[in-house]
Amino acid sequence: MLPKTPSFKLNGKRAFVPGGSRGIGLGCAVALAEAGAHVVIAARSADQVAEAVDAMQAEGFSVEGVTLDVTNLDAVQDISAQHKFDILCNSAGLARHSPALDATVSNYDAVMDINVKAAFFLATEVARNIGPDGGSIMQISSQMGHVGGIDRTVYCATKHAVEGMTKAMAIEWGPKNIRVNTICPTFIRTPLTKVTFDNPERLAWIQEKIKLPRVGEIEDIMGAVQFLASDASAMVTGTSLLIDGGWTAG
């Protein structure tokens, strides 16, 4: 008998996408909904959440939205307990780039609070309430969790931390069939990265580092999200899926 490819379908699954109202996070939400999951989008801006939900519902997707500051750990706990998600795709993140010598305590704390502390407790709360069949936890990390970058010391520190916590969580929760992985994009063209792409010096640096002949697009992330959320990756945990056009290979 021939082997059968595991399903990428997510019918009957409930997925939580913090940071899912725009950019990479919205791409993640759409990818999960396309595969059949019911998606709960969360972000701080009620208007942006509503806009994303309306657009997805117009395409026939099963989706709802909640207003959430991921640094509000009580609210994170409440939402995770209420919904009992099968899938977490955490795209909430913050970057405040500067040379290391110019980094301020307030900027350091703000980036750490969202990129590390919130990421940690989002994962633990979803895992705490996940069903007996287990599930998939994904953190949208970065290639900067594997290398260094210009003016990105604090950001790199947070993403290296996410890579470490992911490995430890995967080991701890493996017996419960909870898989924990990261997706590590290169520079993706979004409104938030426009300022970087508009800087000729930074653009030249990016194009020199990426080995493929283009920069990243939101669509480049979406297949990876479906893969790691589904049974197609049933034996994949504690690792990183680098979507970096060959950046870290060099």
Q: Is 108 labeled as catalytic in the residue annotation?
A: no
Please tell me which residue in 16, 61, 85, 155 is annotated as part of the active site: 155
Q: Which residues contact 121 (CB under 8 A, 6 or more apart)?
A: 73, 76, 77
**Exposed, middle or buried: residue 48 (CB in 10 Å: 0-12, 13-18, 19+)?**
middle
Strand order in the sheet with 178-185: 63-67, 38-43, 14-18, 87-90, 135-140, 178-185, 240-243
Query: Which of the residues are catalytic?
Result: 155
